[in-house]
C-alpha cells in the first residue's frame, strides 16, 4: 500500500498581526509618508500579499469565525491587487490631469 503524504500549513490565526521585518516596517512607514523608494514599494507589495493572504485559502478548520476573519483580510488584498492590475484608458488619465 502506498504511503499518503498530507500537506501542512504554517498559517497563524488570521486575527494575529502579520509578521514584519525591520525592512518591511521601514518600507511601510516611508510609503505612508510618501517617501518610499522603488525597492521599498516592492517590499510593501510583497508584505501586503503575505499579510492579506491573497494566495491562501481563507477556510480555517478551527471555526467559521476564523474563516470569516481570514476572508475579510483576503478581500482587502484582492481589492488592492485588482486595482493594481486595472487598465485605465489614456483618455481617463488625461481627464484626471485636466481637472
Cα 72 to Cα 78: distance, rounded to the nearest angstrom: 10
Q: Report pLDDT digits (tens) over 18-62.
A: 999 999 999 999 999 999 999 999 999 999 999 999 999 899 888
Q: Which three cell numbers stand for residue 81?
A: 491587487
Whether the per-residue pLDDT at 75 is higher than 80: the answer is yes
Q: Report pLDDT digits (tens) over 51-62.
A: 999 999 899 888
Residue 95 lies in a domain: no
pTM of the entire structure? 0.80
Domain that holds residue 48: 22-87
Buried b (16+ CB within 10 A) or exposed e, 6-43: eeeeeeeebeeeeeeeeebeebbebbeeeebeeebeeb
Residue 45 lies in a domain: yes
Residue 66 lies in a domain: yes
Residue with the three cell numbers 493572504: 53
Residue 27 lies in a domain: yes
Tally of domains in the chain = 1
Residue 83 lies in a domain: yes
Residue 76 lies in a domain: yes
Amino acid at each position: 500500500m502506498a504511503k499518503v503524504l498530507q500537506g501542512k500549513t504554517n498559517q497563524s490565526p488570521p486575527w494575529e498581526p502579520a509578521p514584519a521585518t525591520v525592512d518591511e516596517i521601514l518600507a511601510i512607514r516611508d510609503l505612508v509618508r510618501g517617501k518610499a523608494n522603488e525597492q521599498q514599494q516592492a517590499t510593501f507589495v510583497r508584505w501586503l500579499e503575505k499579510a492579506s493572504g491573497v494566495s491562501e485559502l481563507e477556510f480555517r478548520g478551527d471555526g467559521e469565525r476564523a474563516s470569516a476573519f481570514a476572508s475579510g483580510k483576503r478581500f482587502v488584498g484582492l481589492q488592492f491587487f485588482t486595482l493594481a492590475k486595472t487598465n485605465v484608458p489614456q483618455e481617463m488619465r488625461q481627464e484626471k490631469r485636466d481637472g
